[in-house]
Amino acid sequence: MIKLFPWQKTQIQQIIEMSKQKRLPHALLLSGPDGIGLKKFALFVAANRLCLINEMQQPPCGECQSCQLFLGRSNPDIKLIEPEKEGGQIKIDTIREVVSYASLKSFLNNNMKIIIISQADAMNRSAANSLLKVLEEPSSQSMFILLSHRPSQLLVTIRSRCQKINFNPTYENESIEWVDGAFNNSNFSSDLLLRLAGGGPLKVKKLLEEDYLDYRVNLLKDLDSLNKRNTNPVDIAKNWNEFSKDKIKSAETTIFCLMQLINDLVRLKLCPKMENIVNIDLIEDLHGISNTLDLLKLIRSYDFILLKYKELVGPMNYNSLAILEEIALFWKNYNHSMIMK
């Protein structure tokens, strides 16, 4: 039967407590970093709530009709909604369907239907308003579970109608051990992988598939060479833009990585403790570069890149190459001029 990840114990306990006190809400909002396993947690809660034998008192039994259908991915009392493609929106038609589904009686004998909305912040305005209406008139026969890595992007009115369950980034030993077992990677330590994944263990898979770990070494070299006069920022930006076939993804990964590296450079200046550093294996190179740069300028560079990141992932369609060129030029001109003075 479905199992939770080891770092999700506190949150399931919270829900079991609510259930024991008959206070299980009609809408939950699960939030946490990418890779923390929100979808699996929501499915576990759904299977558990619908289990005809245990019903939140113990883990789902795995035997009853509801659990059997769940295992066959065909439990009619669970509906999972998510954007059709990565980065896509959840539109009003989808939410209208969900609204009419929620108004039906449950199919199995448990008087409950569960609707999971993954990446809930991807709902467009009209979809969100449509969902809000249902949340305003809750039914005792359906429960909504919204999932989001960016809950602040949800309508305040939606957030206020949900019981919030938060997952913090995890760097505990049990999570490091889980990464060890799940990815069995001999080239890099699981501690490093988890730091780079921002405390979202499942995200490690994506980093390994993308060759993120080698890419970050190249990016650090680029930052260093941009500080030297003969390097052309336009050429560097072009390489960044072509890191993967998908240009937006290239730019997103590049900017994310630059922010991690610059963050480390800042931290090395402020408080050079190993536990604060993400790229622990590059510590010597980071030290070397950090020594040549000015703290205030580093912080401003970070802010500039963050601003560009928001442009890239925001609703306006910015050109990814243009954004990367701006970043490379900013880094070169801004940090370089400091050294020459």
Site map (CB under 5 A) of Zn ion, residues 139-178, x = contact: ----------------------------------------
> Which lies closer to Zn ion via its Cβ, residue 61 or residue 182?
61
The tally of CA atoms less than 13 A away on the side-chain side of residue 272 is: 10
Nearer to Zn ion by C-beta: 143 or 197?
143
Tokens 């995890």 belong to residue = 170
Pattern 12-51, Zn ion, x by CB under 5 A:
---------------------------------------x
Cα–Cα distances (Å) from 11 to 38, 44, 165, 172, 322, in that order, read: 11, 12, 7, 16, 42
Question: Cα–Cα distance between 255 and 323 in angstroms, integer?
Answer: 10
8 A C-beta contact, residue 295 and residue 270? yes
Contact 276, 267 (CB under 8 A): yes
Question: Which residue lies nearer to Zn ion by CB, 51 or 202?
Answer: 51
Of residues 65-104, those binding Zn ion (CB under 5 A): 67
Is 196 in contact with 278 (CB distance < 8 Å)? yes
Q: Cβ 117 to Zn ion, closest distance in Å? A: 24
Give yes or no for residue 324 binding Zn ion (CB under 5 A). Answer: no
CB 19 within 8 A of CB 56: yes
User: Would you give the DSSP letter of residue 123?
Assistant: B
Distance CA 324, CA 309 (A): 10
Contacts of residue 65, Cβ cutoff 8 Å, sequence gap at least 6 = 52, 108
CB of 261 to Zn ion, least distance (A): 48
Q: How far is the CB of 72 from Zn ion (least distance, A)?
A: 13
* Amino acid identity at 239: N
Return the number of the residue (106 or 185) whose C-beta is nearest Zn ion. Answer: 106
Least CB distance to Zn ion at residue 108 (A): 10
The least CB distance from residue 77 to Zn ion, in Å, is 12
Whether 160 and 186 have beta carbons less than 8 Å apart is answered as: no
What is the nearest approach in angstroms of Zn ion to the Cβ of residue 10? 24
Q: How many residues bind Zn ion (CB under 5 A)?
A: 6
Q: Mask: binding to Zn ion, 280-299, rule CB under 5 A, as x and -?
A: --------------------
x-marked contacts with Zn ion along 51-70 as a string, rule CB under 5 A: x-x------xx--x--x---
Nearer to Zn ion, 60 or 169 (CB): 60
* DSSP structural state of residue 90: B
Give 52 or 132: the residue with its C-beta nearer to Zn ion: 52
Q: In whole angstroms, how close is the CB of 41 to Zn ion at the nearest point?
A: 18
Selection from 80, 82, 132 nearest residue 101 by Cα: 80
Q: Using CB under 5 A, list all residues that contact Zn ion.
A: 51, 53, 60-61, 64, 67
